[in-house]
């Protein structure tokens, strides 16, 4: 099957600055793909090249098998920028009708599609003007607008960054609802959002993709941080001191409850075997010892955070 996105060795320079330094990115059709990176990592530039809004310097870029920005991709790809703008006097329905007009959709199809998209994005029944919309509503309208032509690929730049927690949740639910209908690529620096909705992910740093794969693969390939353990004892301070000298401990965080510590360990098996001995050598009581899943944040900080 033709990949939704296939980028090899993409380089983009502005003057002497190499903003993209050999990006490789492969997105399978049907996936909800999270493109993760810190500010300035090169996410927007990559998306702009994909959309044909910026020219590559060198490398190979295919979108649904076509050159970016070529005529076929215009009807196959939908795009929503981080802050979508609309004429303030229009209603959501006006915006979608007008976009459908640009694609010359027939009247009956336009009516059906617009009704369906207003329903999908929770904007049905809102006849007010866009000028009174919240940021979350604008973002959802932007997504509806990008979907008006039923694209095979939807590209979203930071769709949740400007939203409050409730607005984020609604947009993430919307992206989840798109699974199976359209391939979704979205850029973000918000790791919990990726964990919530994506099946595959790539992390970009300083213009290079430094890891990519399913969430589980990326967690597993995350270098020396092998996992986390939640430990509860009757004296958290003494336990913390004793753990600081153990070679298998990479970090100890205090949780809100007294005596509860969250350990980041380099070897989960060794930690689970050796930790009870540390507890008993201190004469403490071990109340709880539970593995915690490595979060994407651990992976991200481990891979990207070092030089910052």
Binding site for ligand ATP (CB under 6 A): 14, 17, 19, 37, 39-45, 189
The answer to whether 136 touches 118, Cβ cutoff 8 Å, is no
Q: Which two tokens stand for residue 223?
A: 């270098």
Q: What is the closest distance, in whole angstroms, from the C-beta atom of residue 300 to ligand ATP in the complex?
A: 13
Q: What is the closest distance, in whole angstroms, from the C-beta atom of residue 59 to ligand ATP in the complex?
A: 15
Q: What is the closest distance, in whole angstroms, from the C-beta atom of residue 169 to ligand ATP in the complex?
A: 21
Task: Give 27 or 229: the residue with its C-beta nearer to ligand ATP.
Answer: 27
Q: Which two tokens stand for residue 91?
A: 């209603």
Task: Give 81 or 302: the residue with its C-beta nearer to ligand ATP.
Answer: 81
Task: Give 190 or 270: the residue with its C-beta nearer to ligand ATP.
Answer: 190
Task: Give 17 or 104: the residue with its C-beta nearer to ligand ATP.
Answer: 17
Q: What is the closest distance, in whole angstroms, from the C-beta atom of residue 158 to ligand ATP in the complex?
A: 6
Q: What is the closest distance, in whole angstroms, from the C-beta atom of residue 9 to ligand ATP in the complex?
A: 17
Task: Give 45 or 200: the residue with its C-beta nearer to ligand ATP.
Answer: 45
Q: What is the closest distance, in whole angstroms, from the C-beta atom of residue 297 to ligand ATP in the complex?
A: 17
Q: What is the closest distance, in whole angstroms, from the C-beta atom of residue 159 to ligand ATP in the complex?
A: 12
Task: Give 82 or 195: the residue with its C-beta nearer to ligand ATP.
Answer: 82
Residue among 191, 192, 200 at smallest CA distance from 218: 200
Task: Give 14 or 173: the residue with its C-beta nearer to ligand ATP.
Answer: 14
């Amino acid at each position: 099957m033709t990949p939704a996105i296939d980028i090899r060795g993409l380089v983009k320079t502005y003057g002497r600055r190499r903003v993209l330094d050999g990006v490789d990115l492969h997105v399978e059709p049907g996936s909800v793909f999270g493109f993760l990176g810190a500010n300035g990592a090169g996410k927007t530039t990559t998306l702009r090249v994909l959309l044909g809004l910026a020219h590559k310097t060198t490398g190979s870029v295919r979108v649904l098998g076509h050159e970016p920005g070529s005529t076929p991709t215009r009807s196959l790809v939908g795009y929503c920028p981080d802050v979508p703008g609309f004429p303030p006097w229009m209603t959501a329905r006006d915006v979608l009708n007008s976009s459908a007009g640009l694609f010359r959709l027939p009247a009956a199809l336009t009516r059906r599609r617009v009704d369906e998209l207003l329903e999908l994005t929770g904007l049905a029944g809102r006849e007010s003007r866009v000028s009174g919309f919240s940021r979350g509503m604008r973002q959802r309208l932007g997504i509806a607008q990008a979907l008006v032509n039923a694209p095979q690929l939807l590209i979203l730049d930071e769709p949740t960054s400007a939203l409050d927690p409730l607005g984020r949740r609604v947009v993430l639910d919307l992206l989840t609802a798109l699974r199976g209908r359209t391939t979704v690529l979205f850029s973000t620096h918000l790791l919990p959002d990726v964990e919530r909705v994506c099946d595959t992910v790539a992390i970009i740093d300083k213009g290079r993709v430094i890891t990519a794969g399913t969430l589980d693969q990326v967690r597993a390939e995350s270098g020396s941080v092998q996992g986390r353990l939640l430990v509860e004892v009757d004296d958290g301070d003494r336990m913390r001191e004793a753990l600081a000298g153990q070679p298998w401990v990479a970090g100890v965080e205090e949780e809100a409850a007294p005596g509860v510590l969250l350990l980041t360990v380099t070897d989960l098996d060794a930690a689970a075997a050796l930790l009870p001995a540390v507890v008993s050598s201190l004469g403490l009581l071990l109340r709880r010892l539970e593995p915690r899943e490595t979060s994407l944040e651990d992976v991200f900080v481990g891979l990207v955070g070092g030089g910052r």
